[in-house]
Amino acid sequence: MKNIFSFALLAAAVSASPSPKDGPSGSCKSTQNANFDDLTGVPAVQYNQIPVPYKGLKYQGFNFLVVVKTGVAPGVVPRSGNNYGVSNAVTRTTGGSPRWTADYPNSAVRRFTPLSFYYGCSIDLQNGVAAAPTACDITIIGYKEGDKRVASQTFAFRPASALSVAQMTKGNFGGSFQEVQYVTVSYTIAPGSPLNANLVLLVDDIQYATCSSGGGRDN
């Protein structure tokens, strides 16, 4: 009987112990959806800046575009609303290498867990509108503190043609992206497609869970 009682006490103590994600430094409990639709910008201009933070993160190397929908002109349609995130040669030059990060001054977010996002690629026609959908590959690499690489995943976008009105493709992140500090985002023209220096990456409805810093809160 004594052994049974001791085992019961031990089981109760184990069940009451916090999981690693529920420690004193906070937990990944706030799900965010970065769809950029709550941002106000100039329509058809790729260089509307994303505030820092936005939904708890810094979107380095990205701006946002307010799409003017015609329903017939070629282009990649936003997953929701009229806005999506944009990265191209100009945003990389002015904002730095593309990454989504919790590592910025006075951040209230310790880490985040990417869940899914929608993406597409197009060729910039130099008229302020991203158009001409094109096949591309997007590679996202996850890092923890100390630049420790923990995850990598590549996503393919394959529109029907450059003259189509293309829907964005959904990408789901694997479990190895748990509680990263930042992810790097790179994109290239798909093999077999014509090379073009004006490649544009478009992202929307980026869903992730934020992990609050010690003493802070999810933003």
- Domains of the chain by start residue, with CATH: 26-212 (2.60.120.1350)
Total-model pTM? 0.83
Residue 87 has pLDDT above 80, yes or no: yes
Strand partners, 139: 154, 186
Place of tokens 């995943």: 153
Strand, helix or coil for residue 88: coil
Torsion 74-76-78-84 (CA) sign: negative
Residue 68 has pLDDT above 60, yes or no: yes
Place of tokens 């590679």: 139
Beta carbons of 164 and 120 less than 8 angstroms apart: no
Q: Which two tokens stand for residue 205?
A: 């409805």
Least confident stretch, 7-11, 39-43, 139-143: 7-11
What pLDDT does residue 126 have?
A: 55
Mean pLDDT score of the chain:
84
What pLDDT does residue 51 have?
A: 98
Residue 215 has pLDDT above 80, yes or no: no
Neighbour count for residue 13 (Cβ, 10 Å): 9
Strand, helix or coil for residue 147: helix
Q: What is the pLDDT of residues 95-138, one digit of tens each?
A: 999 999 999 999 999 999 999 999 999 987 555 555 789 999 99
